[in-house]
Every structure is written in structure tokens, then in C-alpha cells.
Structure 1
Amino acid sequence: MKYPILPAALLCAFLGLGGATAEERIDHFNGLPAETLEDAVQNFSEYNNRLAAIVAKDELTASDLATVHELTYTLENALEKINDELAALADLLEEVHVASETADAASTVEKGRAYLDTARTVIP
């Protein structure tokens, strides 16, 4: 009886390509940090452009794949910061909503300005 898939399965197991989950992967790069929302948006934009240039190619080289792998760490850092900031922004918008609903003009202005400062960092 032949097992044609066995050599491929053994190769995958040997190379570690089998069933590794995201938690089991070893991080090879740190990526650029995203300490502020401004940093995160800048890195997100720049590294998305780099990714777009690579995936626009008809064929990817091993070097292209390595570059994509490395730049995804910066994108992940940026996206994590953006997600955290947008979650806080949603809470702040709710405060604006409640302040306006309860006719609290001072809070509406204060919270509204804070909301807009952050919102305009993401989308001017």
C-alpha cells in the first residue's frame, strides 16, 4: 500500500509547517512601536503602502515573503493601538451623546472637543 501524502506530511512536520497555532509561533521581529495614535496611524499608512506594493506583484520571491512577514509586525502593533484608541473614542462619543441629551452644554463642548481631537487624528 502506498502512502503518497506521507512524505509531504513528514516534511511539513520536520519544517514546523503543520499545526502550529498563533500562540505557538515564535515572534521573530518586534516591529516599530506605536506609542501614540499619531505613530500608529503613520506606521499603518506607510506599512500598508509597502504591503500593497509587494502584493501587487504577479509573483512573490522568498525575499518578498520575508519582507511581508517582517512588516506585518509593525502593522499589528499599529492596528492594536488604533483599535485600543477607537474603543476609547467610542466611549468618549457616548459621553458626548449623553451630555447633549441631558442638555449639559459645558460637557458637550468639553467632551466633543476631546472626541474631535482624537477622531481627526485617525481621519482628518
Structure 2
Amino acid sequence: MMLPALLSGLMLAATAQASSPTEHFKGEPADTLSQAMANFSEYNQQLAELLAQEEPSLADLGTIHQLTYTLENALEKINEEVETLAVNLEEVHQGSETGDFERVQSHGADYLEAAQTLAP
């Protein structure tokens, strides 16, 4: 019963998209790791609530589509920060092997700041 309505709704949406340019959402920014983590948590909660519905509406699918832009922004920033986190940890590791306390201290502080944001 719901399938025909869904299909006709998708066909209408496809027709509308063919006649006008698709508008893309930018999503919420994730300029810092803290902001990315907050958005990741909040928007995952919203997504979970929408996915928990037995029969989401087309409007719900539109909302899910919009949520994914913010989640993608958050994941991009988190991935960037995790790469930097790994580099800083390696610097701490190398510094500890060579007795370079200044290297350990400076990279260790950067590492811990990001690590505590990821896992408070």
C-alpha cells in the first residue's frame, strides 16, 4: 500500500528535479573538533529517532537527507582530527624513545586535547 505512494512521490520529485536545478544543503559547519563531535552526537540522535519509525514519510526522508550533510561535515572534520591525533601520538612515541622531552611535551599536549574531546 505504501509502496505505490512512495514510488509516485519519488517520480514527482524526480520530475521536479529534472525541471529545476537540485538545491543542495550545506549542513551545519564543523570548524572545530568540539563542534564536529557535538553535531555528530545531536544529528545521530535525530537520525536514530527518524529511523525508529515503522513507516517514515517522504518528509522524513527529506529530513534524513538534510541531516546527512551535517553528519558528513562532522565526519570529515573528525577524520582530519584523528589523522592529526595519530601524527601527534607518533611524535610523542618517537620523542620518548629519543629522550626529547620538549617534543613529548608539546605533541603530548596537542594529542591529549584532541583525545579528550573524542573521549571525554
Determine if the TM-score, normalized by the shorter chain, exceeds 0.5. Answer: yes
Partner of residue 80 from structure 1, selected from 67, 70, 76: 76
Larger Rg computed on CA atoms: 1
Query: Deviation string for 1:65-86 (max 9, x for gaps)?
Result: 0100001000001110110111
* 2:24 counterpart of 1:34: no
Structure 2, unmatched stretches of 5+, are 1-9, 16-21
How far is the alpha carbon of 1:101 from its aligned partner?
1.1
Query: What is the DSSP-based 3-state SS (H/G/I as helix, E as strand, rest coil) of the residue aligned with 2:48?
Result: helix
| Alignment TM-score, normalising by the size of structure 2 | 0.79
Give 1:27 shift: 5.5
Matched residue, 2:43: 47
Which whole-Å deviations, capped at 9, do the CAs of 1:44-69 have from their partners, x for residues lacking one? Answer: 10000000111011111111101000
**What is the aligned residue count?**
104
Q: Distance in 2 between matches of 1:44 and 1:38?
A: 10
In the alignment, the residues of structure 2 paired with residue 60 and residue 38 of structure 1 have an alpha-carbon distance, to the nearest angstrom, of 31
* CA–CA separation in structure 1 for the residues paired with 2:83 and 2:102: 23
Q: Residues 13-68 of structure 1: CA distance to partner in whole angstroms, max 9, x if unpaired?
A: xx38xxxxxxxxx5621101111111111101000000011101111111110100
Partner of 1:97: 93
Query: Aligned partners of 1:40 and 1:27: how far apart in 2?
Result: 23
Equivalence for 1:61: 57
Q: CA deviation at 1:106?
A: 2.6
**Residue number among 84, 88, 111 corresponding to 1:115 in the alignment:** 111
Q: What is the RMSD computed on CA atoms of the aligned residues?
A: 2.0
Unaligned runs of 5+ in 1: 1-10, 17-25
